[in-house]
């Protein structure tokens, strides 16, 4: 059995006050397999900048610059993350969602707003616009 030893003790990672750890279930439960590289890059950004409740409101212009991504790619990445149920989005607000299976709300709809989404909200979400 391999014994784990810190390789660089002075750089030991601690849970930060702003809460930005990536949940291991992203890999273990294979959520990562449902997304392409652009979606995963956006997810990493959102997890990193989100508050303890998973909320952030980075503008598309900021996200595209930080990720070296075109607007169309960002919109597709966001749609992919919503479809994978990893985030909820209502312009300008993102919410990184819990990976707990029991936390999924079957009535949340594409908007993540807690009730059924209208067709207009679903279509706007698909093209990257808010309601």
Q: Is residue 16 part of a domain?
A: no
- Residue appearing with tokens 């998973």: 54
Percent of the chain at pLDDT > 90 equals 44
Q: Is residue 1 part of a domain?
A: no
Q: Please tell me whether residue 96 adopts helix, strand or coil conformation.
A: strand
- The whole-number average pLDDT for the span 27-38 is 92
Question: Residue 14's pLDDT is what?
Answer: 72
Question: Residue 112's pLDDT is what?
Answer: 44
Q: Is residue 7 part of a domain?
A: no
Q: Is 60 exposed, middle or buried, given 0-12, 13-18 or 19+ CB atoms closer than 10 A?
A: middle
Q: Is residue 12 part of a domain?
A: no
Q: Is residue 66 part of a domain?
A: yes
CATH of the domain at 94: 1.10.10.10
Encode pLDDT of 62-120 as tens digits.
Answer: 999 999 999 999 999 999 999 999 999 999 899 999 887 765 655 444 444 444 455 55
What residue numbers bound the domain in which 88 lies?
Answer: 24-126
Q: Per the structure, how many domains does the chain have?
A: 1
pLDDT band at 39 (very low <50, low <70, confident <90, very high): very high
């Amino acid at each position: 059995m391999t014994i784990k030893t810190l390789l660089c003790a002075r750089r030991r990672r601690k849970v930060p006050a702003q809460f930005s750890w990536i949940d291991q279930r992203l890999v273990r439960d294979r959520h990562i397999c449902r997304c392409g590289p652009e979606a995963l890059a956006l997810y990493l950004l959102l997890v990193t900048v989100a508050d303890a409740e998973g909320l952030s409101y980075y503008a598309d212009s900021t996200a595209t610059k930080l990720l070296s991504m075109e607007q169309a790619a960002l919109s597709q990445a966001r749609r992919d993350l919503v479809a994978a149920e990893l985030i909820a989005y209502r312009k300008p607000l993102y919410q990184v969602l819990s990976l707990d299976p029991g936390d999924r709300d079957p009535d949340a709809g594409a908007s993540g707003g807690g009730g059924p989404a209208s067709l207009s909200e679903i279509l706007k979400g698909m093209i990257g616009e808010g309601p």
